[in-house]
Each structure stands twice: as C-alpha cells, then as structure tokens.
Amino acid sequence: MIAIPVSGGAFAPYDVVVGRGLMADAGRRIAVFAPQRRTVIVTDETVAALHAPALQASLTEAGIDSVVVAVPAGEASKSFAELERVLDRLLEAGLDRKDLVIALGGGVVGDLAGLAAALFMRGIDFIQVPTTLLAQVDSSVGGKTAIDTPQGKNLVGAFHQPRLVLADIDVLATLPERQLRSGWAEVLKHGLICDHDFFDWLAGEGAAGAAGDPAALQRAVVRSVEIKSAIVGEDEKEAGKRALLNLGHTFGHAIEAELGFEEAALAHGEAVALGCAMAFRYSARRGLCEARHVERVEAAVAESGLPTRLVQAGVFSADALLGRMAGDKKAEGGALTLILAQGVGRAFVAKGVDAGEVRAFLIDEGAEA
C-alpha cells in the first residue's frame, strides 16, 4: 500500500491510497471524515452489484450508516436530470454540511457525485473510491467535477477536491477488457506528457498492465498519480501547467461529441488514445517533433489495443470537428489551444493555433472537407 499526498495552496491536502485489498478496510479510513457516522454512496447500477455490498459492509463495521444511490451506467448519466436526482436523494437522506458523499465507480460516477457534493448546501466533503483504471489514474484525482451538455463534454462543473481517494487494484479484475484498455490510454498519456522513462517502461515490460497484471497495474497507477498530483498541486484550476493533462483531449472530446458520447462507438480512453496519436502527428506536421517519436507513440497505442487513426472511430466532417474544438474549455477568444509535443515526455501548451491549419490536418487525417 502506498499513500501519495496531493497538496496545493488553495485546497486541503489529501492522500491517494493505492494498493490491494483496500475495500475491506475502507470503512476505517473513511470514518475519520464522517463524524456523524452517515453517508450516501453514489454509484452506477453495474458497480452497485459488484462492489457496493463490500463497501457497505466495511462502513457498517466502522459504525457508519450508508445509503446507496445508483444511476444508470454510462456517460449519459452525466446530465442535469441525473444530477438533480442525486441531489434530491442527498436531501431525502437528511445529509447536512458535516456529512460526506462517497463516489464508488468510474469517471462518470466520480464527476457526477463530485459535482453533487460541490453544489449540495454550497459544498460538502466527498471521497473517491474509483473502480476503473481510468478513474484511478486520472479522473478521481485533482478535483474536476462536471456533467455534459449537448454542446460538449464537461462544460458544466466545478473544482471540488476529494478528502481521500482509495484506489484498490483488486477491483480492476472485474473490469471488461475494453474498459481496462481505455484506462491504459490515460496511463500512456502521463508518460507522454513528462516522463520519457515511464513511457519506455509502459511500452515494454509495463505493457503487462494493459492485460491486467496486478503488479504492473499498481506501478502504473502509482506513477500516474504522482505525475498528476504534482501538476495539480502547482496549478489546481488549469491556469497554466495543468492544461498539459489534456494531451489528446481536444481532438478526443471533439470526436466523442460528434459520436454523441456513445461509449459503444468510442470509449473515452479510446478517444484520448486516438487524440494523443493525432496530437503527435500534428506536432510533427508543424516541425515540432521528429517522426520517430510519432512512430513510437503509434506503436505503443496500437499494441495496447487502442485506436490511432480517425477512420477507426468513424466518418467525420472536418468543419464539425473544428467547431467542437473551438468550443473546448481550453479555447480562448475563439482561438484554438492544443497540447502538442516536442517529443515523448515533452508536451507543452500551444495557444492561438491556426484553425485553418488544423482543418487541413483533419482532412489529411481522413475527415471530410
């Protein structure tokens, strides 16, 4: 078991605890943050059946009463309707400002429960118990909470840091293979941003993690959290360096939005993997990095069973994708902001990117003119 501290000047520090068998001991760790000995567990219908009984048993053993609120599984639950339903259930449970919410699930549940906690009585504590690889390495850490709108992904939300994150490696054994690969995309992303050696390990011996090896998964989760926690501690609200964590996301979110956030068509991690490959190809097109770096990224992504080419996701209009990208949260004054790279482990924020150049690139990538 390893505890990774997350701290910054504007928020209370907390630990991300990574290890095996953490669910059985969760109640004891959570009790510190539950003085009134009651909580609401927000989860989805799939995770509720798999993991809620174990978590509730641990909470009961620690003397904490809990109520489970389960939303439908999938990105569609990041909506105003489900947010309202969760808030209503918190009110029905009689929670007050000294109580807390537990997010048990993947990124969708964490985003939804975290936003509900941020809004409820102007903000109450919440704890993340991520059950997907994507959530353990990315969305559970850093305090970003949000829902989607028809206009785009994560456009309505708040920064609300958890008080604790419990990342139990054992629960990843229940993930479908596609979800595990989807989470692996975010792991690869962390190496691509700023850790060349980590990426080399992921592309070599560490690739066993993408196939479910617990030891490799734990090392991958720990290093990913270390990278993200350092960036979040320096820049909580994405005024600068934190934007690096969006490598692959501007392209990826645009593709997801055009597909209606339909996970059966393209999972979030698959979109991020594709977006990372596109970001490196665009960087090479602009002369920012050598072709050999692009080849390494494409090989590692493909070997992980993730898409590298736009055609693998579907048929798209270049103008429609560009419109989505212009509406991205990172865009400023209508100008595009992209996370590009000078090589593996050397990502940077590029502001004021020419939309015409990006449109031409998208057409070369296979989008329709």
Residue 331's pLDDT is 64
3-state secondary structure the chain: CEEEEEEECCEEEEEEEEECCCHHHHHHHHHCCCCCCEEEEEEEHHHHHHHHHHHHHHHHHCCCEEEEEEECCCHHHCCHHHHHHHHHHHHHCCCCCCCEEEEEECHHHHHHHHHHHHHHHHCCEEEEEECCHHHHHHHCCCCEEEEEECCEEEEEEEECCCCEEEEEHHHHHHCCHHHHHHHHHHHHHHHHHHCHHHHHHHHCHHHHHHHCCHHHHHHHHHHHHHHHHHHHHHCCCCCCHHHHHHCCHHHHHHHHHHCCCCCCCCCHHHHHHHHHHHHHHHHHHCCCCCHHHHHHHHHHHHHCCCCCCHHHCCCCEHHHHHHHHHCCCCCECCEEEEEEECCCCCEEEEEEECHHHHHHHHHHHCCEC
Domain with CATH 1.20.1090.10 in the chain: 177-365
Residue 31's pLDDT is 97
Residue 153's pLDDT is 84
Q: pLDDT averaged over the chain?
A: 95
CATH class as words, domain 177-365: mainly alpha
Q: How far is CA 352 from CA 257, 335, 337, 357, 365, in A?
A: 22, 5, 6, 11, 21
Residue 86's pLDDT is 98
- Above 90 in pLDDT, residue 301? yes
Band of pLDDT at residue 335, cut at 50, 70 and 90: confident
Which stretch of 8-22, 82-96, 185-199, 280-294 has the lowest confidence by average pLDDT?
A: 8-22
Instruction: Confirm or reject CATH 3.40.50.1970 for domain 2-174, answering yes or no.
Output: yes
Amino acid identity for residue 136 in this structure? Q
Per the CB < 8 A criterion, the answer to whether 224 and 138 are in contact is: yes
3-state secondary structure 290-326: CHHHHHHHHHHHHHCCCCCCHHHCCCCEHHHHHHHHH
Other CB atoms within a 10 A radius of the CB of residue 49 amount to: 11
Band of pLDDT at residue 300, cut at 50, 70 and 90: very high
Residue 329's pLDDT is 62
Q: Which residues are catalytic?
A: 122, 144, 186, 228, 238, 242, 246, 249, 253, 268
- Above 90 in pLDDT, residue 100? yes
Q: Note the pLDDT tens digit of each residue in 154-188.
A: 999 999 999 999 999 999 999 999 999 999 999 99
- Above 70 in pLDDT, residue 293? yes
Tokens of 354: 């020419």
- Above 90 in pLDDT, residue 214? yes
Domain with CATH 3.40.50.1970 in the chain: 2-174
- Above 80 in pLDDT, residue 332? no
Residue 299's pLDDT is 97
Percent of the chain with pLDDT over 70: 98
Mean pLDDT confidence for 136-152? 93
Band of pLDDT at residue 261, cut at 50, 70 and 90: confident
